[in-house]
Structure 1
Amino acid sequence: MKILHTADWHIGKKLHKHDLSKDFELFIHWLSGTIEKEKVDVLLVSGDVFDLANPSSEGRKQYYKALMELRKLDCKIILTGGNHDSPGMLDAPREILRELDMHVIGGLPENLEDVIIPITDKDGKPALVIAALPYLRDSDLRGAKDGYTYDDRLEAIRRGIQGIFAQAADICQKQYPALPALAMGHLFAAGSETSESERDIQIGNQAAFNALQFGEYFSYIALGHIHKPQKVSAAVPTYYSGSPLQLSFSERKDNKRVLLIDPENGWIPESIPVPSFRKLLKISGTVEELHFKLDALETHQNLDSLIEVELKEENYDATKIYLLDELVTNFKTPGFEIVKHRATFKNQVKSAGDLYKNSQQLEDLKPKEVFSKLVDEHQYDQETRNELLAAFDELLEEVENSETEEK
């Protein structure tokens, strides 16, 4: 009985507006070959199937196409929802998919027994049991909002997560006492290394869950949410498979993988590297250095390489920003695409926030002023800055309108 653990597919993901659908298509084709080669019996996908809660029609089509390609293999599929996923959207075709030996748990069901999935071997004999727990939202964590202080609420969330995993373990132990049990989860474990492509979980990552609270019952815990592949310090083997694709430039050096568990050889998984379908490159330097490095790029046969360009100069110079924009606009090397560029200056002119931070108190500022100061702390280009401020205005208007309606 072999189990393969993956997570964080993020179907529909765009990296700085660049579509990654071709990357995912190549990954699924590789995954199918790996499952067939390794004779995998169970595929676990631990959350964040989609990048958006309301994915596009193209994203949904790619999801079902991937499931159908995997369905051709003699492999049971168990898939759970993550914080990016809509529980309702994932759960909608659940009954149909179950007939195809695919179990989808989009959100935590009212009856916790519904997440307990027994697995039989080729002879139809019970072999193991999976506690397929999805991302746990505040509404799932009874009493998570209890407490008077911020720290009280965080501790309540952690106790809620611990309680649900303990209940799942208790059900497995009572209903399948002779079988080894695995758990799936989508959460932030304390001490995990994150990347810039991950959104905060629960009340920010400050609600990090101590993996020792998983207990000692489960033989293996298959986690999702953190894109950097890593082992978690826990009482039992607990791992993030990581995302199979590079979803941000901060992940460009990650060794992407899936994890293969063969209980006959123990519960420590074997790491199987996922091929790199495209390169993410970060190029920095002065205007002259950028020209040289971009001209020196070598052609390749994979998908187009995506490039982040950072201009680094000692002193602020508006002319250098113009030259950077011109360089990016005129860059036409086949097989490469610049998807992000920015300028940083060591001797940056002080922002308004720096000039007034010692003379103004937070309570004296309006929300828009506070947000503007935060934006000023980053080196955003003008278009991005305008988009951020416009988005903030929309959110602020919604909040003010809702408060008016409540009155």
Structure 2
Amino acid sequence: MKILHTADWHIGKKLHKHDLYADFDLFIKWLCTCISTNKVDVLLVSGDIFDLANPSSEARKQYYKALMQLRKLDCVIILTGGNHDSPAMLDAPKEILRELEMHVIGGLPPNLEDCIVPLKRNGKTEVVIAAIPFLRDSDLRNATEGSTYEDRLEAIRKGILNTFREAAEICKKNYPGVPALAMGHLFAAGSETSDSERDIQIGNQAAFNALQFGSYFKYIALGHIHKPQRISAAVPVFYSGSPIPLSFSERKDEKRLLLLDTKNGWIPANIPVPAFRKLLKISGTIEELRLKLSSLEEPFELDSLIEVELKENLYNARKIFELDELISNFHAAGYEIVKHRATFLQQIKGATELYKNSQPLEDLTPKDIFSQLIEKQKYDVETQEELKAAFNELLQEVHQSENA
């Protein structure tokens, strides 16, 4: 039996207010081809189907459209909820989806046996999946289990451990001798995160030790961490990672899916996900930025998104103006600048620091303070006078508005 592991689709995600709907559509189109080519029997999606608990109508439309595209491939689909998902929203249509061989477990059900999905072939159960969704605080601890911060963390860790142990016992009892796999959506100790992952369970400090998964499950398919990686444990424990980059910190990740073939063992093969767009982070002086932005490579299928950071040694208002002008005048087919900022290695001192050991600020006029700040910079006399004149005009406008 061939089982494909993915996670963290984050349908509806925006990157610096830029919609990633097109990225997800292209991913699903590629995924369908991948499933067909590799003759995949089962698709596991380990949580964070949506980016928001209350997704937009467009995001929901994409979700159901994707399920229908996948359903045409005669592939069993098992989806679990993540910390971004609303359990109630995911669970609402599960009875209908189950008739289409799509098993959705949005939140932890009262009866853990409802998370156990047997996979049959020719009437015989070949593999059983313990599809465990994201475990919330309310699933894991009672109100009476300690009131201190450390008590709460320990109760959460213990709750995760007990849930997986109980799932293993159910599989062992109801399906003796049948290989069992588990799905989970959690933060495992030792995993590497990216900027797009939000804290879970008290700021990720309730990290679960993967060694505590034990040795019963043949493979554990995890979601939540977007960087693909293997976690040290007694059995193969893998994060598939997100299939598309969800932040600029993921721009160098090699996105992948994981394919298990139960005939060959329990170590998955990597299937690289093609890049549909590029995320670029460009930094340097204003001259270096001009050069880099004028020598971009051939564009991808979708517009590549760029973060620009100006890095200069000394603060210079003219450089900020030049940066803004560079961004405004940037036009390159297949590229879009979505964020820019300026960083100065030797930051200008604030007014409070300048006058810390001399006059109180309340005894000085705004013009006095601005003059002192300007004199601390290495501007020529002409530039200083231009800046002071501009400041005076702004100050006059403020006074006029106050007196109006």
Report the TM-score range of the alignment, normalised by the length of the smaller protein: 0.7 to 0.9
- Whole-Å Cα distance in 1 between the matches of residues 85 and 269 of structure 2? 28
| Contact 2:277–2:300 under 8 Å retained in 1 | no
For residue 207 of structure 1, report the CA deviation from its aligned partner.
1.1
Secondary structure, aligned partner of 2:263: helix
| Contact 2:213–2:233 under 8 Å retained in 1 | yes
Match of 1:215 in 2: 214
* Gapped regions of structure 1 (runs ≥ 5): 356-407
Consecutive aligned runs of 4 or more in structure 1 exceeding 4 Å deviation: 350-355
What aligned pairs does 1:162-181 form with structure 2 within 5 A after superposition?
A: 162-181=161-180
- Whole-Å Cα distance in 2 between the matches of residues 349 and 53 of structure 1? 43
Residue 82 (structure 2) pairs with residue 96 (structure 1): no
1:3-52 per-position Cα deviation (integer Å, ceiling 9, x unaligned):
00000000011110111111111110111111111111110000000011
- Whole-Å Cα distance in 2 between the matches of residues 238 and 218 of structure 1? 10
Task: Output the TM-score relative to the length of structure 1.
Answer: 0.85
Assess, with a 3 A threshold, how the Cα gap between structure 1 residues 177 and 227 changes in structure 2: closer, same or farther.
same
Task: Output the TM-score relative to the length of structure 2.
Answer: 0.85
Match of 1:395 in 2: none
Find the structure with the greater CA-based Rg: 2
| Contact 1:185–1:221 under 8 Å retained in 2 | yes
Match of 1:204 in 2: 203
Match of 2:284 in 1: 285
Match of 1:57 in 2: 57
| Contact 1:144–1:153 under 8 Å retained in 2 | no
Match of 1:270 in 2: 269
Match of 1:42 in 2: 42
Assess, with a 3 A threshold, how the Cα gap between structure 1 residues 279 and 354 changes in structure 2: closer, same or farther.
farther
Match of 2:250 in 1: 251
Match of 1:182 in 2: 181
Residue 79 (structure 2) pairs with residue 79 (structure 1): yes
For residue 315 of structure 1, report the CA deviation from its aligned partner.
1.1
Match of 1:138 in 2: 137
For residue 318 of structure 1, report the CA deviation from its aligned partner.
2.2
Match of 2:385 in 1: none
1:106-161 per-position Cα deviation (integer Å, ceiling 9, x unaligned):
0001111100010002x121101000000000110033772243222111110110
For residue 353 of structure 1, report the CA deviation from its aligned partner.
10
Give the % identical residues.
75
Match of 1:111 in 2: 111
Assess, with a 3 A threshold, how the Cα gap between structure 1 residues 205 and 349 changes in structure 2: closer, same or farther.
farther
1:319-373 per-position Cα deviation (integer Å, ceiling 9, x unaligned):
2222212211111111000011111111113569999xxxxxxxxxxxxxxxxxx
Question: How many residues get paired?
Answer: 355
Secondary structure, aligned partner of 1:205: coil
- Whole-Å Cα distance in 2 between the matches of residues 297 and 210 of structure 1? 44
2:99 aligned partner, one-letter code: E
1:39 aligned partner, one-letter code: K
Task: Give the alignment's Cα RMSD to 1 decimal.
Answer: 1.6
* Gapped regions of structure 2 (runs ≥ 5): 355-404
Secondary structure, aligned partner of 1:110: coil
Secondary structure, aligned partner of 1:265: coil
- Whole-Å Cα distance in 2 between the matches of residues 10 and 145 of structure 1? 35
For residue 236 of structure 1, report the CA deviation from its aligned partner.
0.5
| Contact 1:183–1:222 under 8 Å retained in 2 | yes
